[in-house]
Amino acid sequence: MSEPENSMRVPPKIGTIKLITAGRITGLPHVVELRYTHQDDSFYVLAGRANTDWVSNALKSESSKVHVGGLVFKVEASVASEKERKSVSEDFVRRYGRRVVKDWYADAEIALRLRQKGPPSLKGEVGGELDSKSSFGAWQSRHLKYESEVSAAFNSASEEYDFTISRNFVNTWIRSRSISLLLNYIRRSDTLLEIGCGTGAEAIKISPHVRRIFATDVAKGMIGLLRLKIKARRLENIVPIEVRASEIARVREYLPDHKVRIAYSFNGALNCEPHLIEFVRGVSSVLEEDGYLICSIRNRLCITEALSHAVALQFGRLNPRKFQPIMVSVGGRDIPSTYYAPSEFVDFFRVEFKLRKTIALPALLPPAYLNSYYVRFRHVMSILERLEPYLGGSFPLNRLGDQTLFVFQKM
């Protein structure tokens, strides 16, 4: 084995790995973050219970993967021998300390060996939204096709997407608040259209309240995961469709009477659509008269972001969104995304829509990529969450959040 290949087979020594297995019944990706040790081309992990889901999945699955430090290893799982387990326990003490091992692994029922099935593939480490390591100029110089790169980035993110979002309090708060605001407008008889559905988390939560949802996304990987969820949960009123936002008019053939009363798009999907004028025309064509488009986009200026960096004396990062487009990290890949000032975004809609409401998401909490700082001090700052419903829609805070949610009504 050559020296470069050999170095690729040895993972970087960082604190945890992500083990990705396929659900035994659903086939859905199951992601768990684990402490580990690495010996002889194998990862070793300890589990508190031998019958926990991820252990059972790993032992049955032939497609398990370990993601560590930007590398993805295909692995084969087996129960470690007593000799291996003893060696693993000793290595855990050296890596993590006797107290961690005593508190977390004293009663571990099983040790797993995850044997590497060859050299890894490269995948950028999944980080925060603004953790991009490349500049727009460098990206532009590669002459890449934007739509293909966006699709590839979200395909790359799809397996770990739900895991990443669910572990971020601010992200889950934004999702819950967005859904709550949408529910104020819908009727049980409605058919909805979602633009940028991702893995379908929002559609699944909204589906009990409506007749049907046509959920669209540009990424094949996201749509594939939504189909698996629909099958596993026997959801009959969600229809996944792979289509770009700017081509949303193509879904008319699937819609009852070729129209819906409400379309929605959350979490900045439209920031990655370079043809917004075409999108506006397309979504207008599928909306009923007086129908609503409820959408949220990443804002060009976030006051809590500026304040957070000021408190940390990071004055050079007070407004990292100043120059557009901005590079963002999605699924370990860097892609350009265009953040908008609220007035700038509204201008795209003036001919076809009236603006009915503008709400900051959030107004007082920091952006999701600063989640770890907020969670650390949440015990003294949670009052901000209670104030959000009262201040998030008030000027000028409603124009200064990480994201801005707009309620447009078709004229």
Residue 62 sits in the same domain as residue 167? no
Q: Are residues 221 and 112 in the same domain?
A: no
CA angle at 156 for the pair 153 and 160, rounded to the nearest 5°: 125
**312 with 398, same domain?**
yes
Question: Do 16 and 106 have their domain in common?
Answer: yes
Give yes or no for residue 5 having a pLDDT over 60. Answer: no
Q: Please report whether residue 330 resides in a domain.
A: yes
Print the domain residue range for 195: 136-410
Which residue in 356, 354, 371 sits closest to 305, CA to CA?
A: 371
What's the confidence (pLDDT) of residue 321?
93
130: in domain: no
**Count of structural domains within the chain:** 2
118 and 140 inside one domain: no
Same structural domain, 286 and 389: yes
Across the chain, what does the average pLDDT equal?
Answer: 93
Residues 160 and 247 occupy one common structural domain: yes
Q: Are residues 183 and 302 in the same domain?
A: yes
Concatenating the DSSP letter of every residue in 23-51 gives -TTT--EEEEEEE-EEETTEEEEEES-TT
Assess whether 118 and 175 both reside in one domain: no
Encoded tokens for 70 = 């930007």
pLDDT of 38 over the 50 cut: yes
| Model pLDDT for residues 299-348, shown as the tens digit of each residue | 999 999 999 999 999 998 899 999 999 999 998 899 999 999 999 999 99
Do 30 and 155 belong together in one domain?
A: no
pLDDT digits (tens, 9 = 90+) for 71-129: 999 999 999 999 999 999 999 999 999 999 999 999 999 999 999 999 998 776 655 66
Q: What is the pLDDT of residue 6?
A: 46
Are the C-beta atoms of residues 49 and 111 closer than 8 Å to each other? no
User: Model-level pTM?
Assistant: 0.92
pLDDT at residue 51 tops 90 = yes
> Looking at 87, 122, 157, which one is the last position of a domain?
122
| Tens digit of each residue's pLDDT (9 = 90 or more) over 174-190 | 999 999 999 999 999 99
- What's the full length of the chain, in residues? 411
Query: Under 8 Å CB-to-CB from 145, ≥6 apart: which residues?
Result: none
Domain identity same for 356 and 392: yes
